[in-house]
């Protein structure tokens, strides 16, 4: 009996060591799962089971798991430092997902209030401008040897989404998520990456920072006015001017801030 107890203890200890080893080797997935589940439960527990709240909870939980998975793919550091980085990234992912979920909830509320016609008008009025201008910016700012169909599709899609999202924080969250994915792809991901990308984008998205954009628009308008005064009739549609403004703003951000 004593021998059987000793064997059982050794077996239990071996199993526990195996489980811990697996957990330690998969820090990113563990942190993403724990933080994601906790964030989703907390949001659902403190709010009503309405579509906006559910969307926000799913986005927060999904953001945490995504960032944890990205950390796992980038190669978690050993020991306590790895665990701290994993949970820091997962927590940041939950915040980014929450902010993006808030933007999605805003669109869901718009649908509930005004119907899908409102979303269609928003897409036509802003989304198409964002998609076209982002596609042009991708072509202008991406080196030819780095062009890809996937990269262009991502640029267009993100341009549509960010232009339709009225909240600067939600737009910055999209940039932060993409910046984190790109850092993982380059094997340069750290826990500061999403915060740095969010901060740069959030500051640039503030209304006051659109001065460069408006200045470009005024310059183009003056040039067209001069041509008109010379008897040359050029009146481009508003769509063209808005795309030109967005592209110029993308170029300025890229040159000044490396975004």
* pLDDT of residue 4 exceeding 80: no
Q: For 89-110, how does the pLDDT look when each residue is reduced to its tens digit (9 = 90+)? A: 999 999 999 999 888 888 877 7
Helix (H) or strand (E) holding 137: helix 128-141
pLDDT on residue 11: 58
pLDDT on residue 12: 66
Per domain, the residue ranges of the chain are: 24-114+169-205
Q: Judge contact between 172 and 198, C-beta under 8 A.
A: yes
Q: For 16-74, how does the pLDDT look when each residue is reduced to its tens digit (9 = 90+)? A: 676 778 888 899 999 999 999 999 999 998 877 787 888 899 999 999 999 999 999 98
User: Position of tokens 């500061």?
Assistant: 192
* pLDDT of residue 217 exceeding 60: no
User: Position of tokens 């310059």?
Assistant: 219
- Lowest-pLDDT range, 14-18, 139-143, 212-216? 212-216
Q: Tokens for 202? A: 């959030």
Closest by Cα among 102, 159, 106, 100 to 135: 159
What does the pLDDT average to over 113-124?
78
Stated pTM of the model: 0.72
Q: How many Å is the Cα radius of gyration of the chain?
A: 24
DSSP, collapsed to helix, strand or coil, labels residue 240 as helix
Identify the residue with better confidence: 129 or 40. 40
- Other C-beta atoms within 10 Å of 222: how many? 10
| DSSP sequence for 57-84 | HHHHHHHHHHHHHHHHHH-PPSHHHHHH
- Lowest-pLDDT range, 17-31, 78-92, 220-234, 242-256? 220-234
Identify the residue with better confidence: 255 or 224. 255
Q: For 226-238, how does the pLDDT look when each residue is reduced to its tens digit (9 = 90+)? A: 555 555 444 445 6
**Of 60-74, 135-149, 178-192, which one has max mean pLDDT?**
60-74
């Amino acid at each position: 009996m004593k021998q059987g107890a000793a064997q059982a203890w050794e077996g239990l200890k071996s199993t526990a060591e195996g489980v811990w080893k697996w957990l330690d080797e998969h820090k990113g997935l563990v942190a993403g799962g724990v933080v994601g589940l906790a964030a989703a439960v907390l949001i659902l527990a403190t709010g009503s089971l309405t579509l906006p709240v559910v969307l926000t909870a799913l986005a927060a939980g999904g953001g945490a798991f995504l960032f944890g998975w990205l950390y796992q793919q980038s190669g978690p550091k050993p020991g306590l430092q790895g665990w701290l980085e994993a949970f820091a990234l997962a927590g940041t992912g939950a915040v980014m997902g929450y902010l993006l979920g808030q933007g999605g909830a805003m669109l869901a509320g718009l649908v509930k209030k005004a119907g899908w016609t409102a979303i269609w008008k928003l897409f036509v009025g802003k989304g198409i401008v964002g998609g076209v201008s982002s596609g042009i910016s991708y072509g202008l700012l991406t080196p030819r040897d780095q062009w890809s169909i996937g990269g262009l599709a991502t640029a267009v899609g993100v341009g549509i989404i960010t232009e339709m999202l009225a909240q600067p924080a939600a737009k910055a969250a999209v940039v932060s998520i993409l910046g984190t994915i790109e850092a993982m792809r380059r094997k340069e991901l750290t826990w500061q990456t999403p915060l740095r990308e969010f901060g740069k984008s959030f500051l640039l998205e503030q209304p006051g920072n659109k001065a460069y954009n408006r200045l470009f628009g005024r310059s183009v308008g003056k040039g067209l006015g001069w041509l008109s005064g010379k008897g040359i009739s050029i009146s481009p549609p508003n769509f063209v001017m808005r795309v030109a403004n967005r592209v110029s703003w993308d170029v300025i951000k890229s040159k000044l801030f490396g975004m």
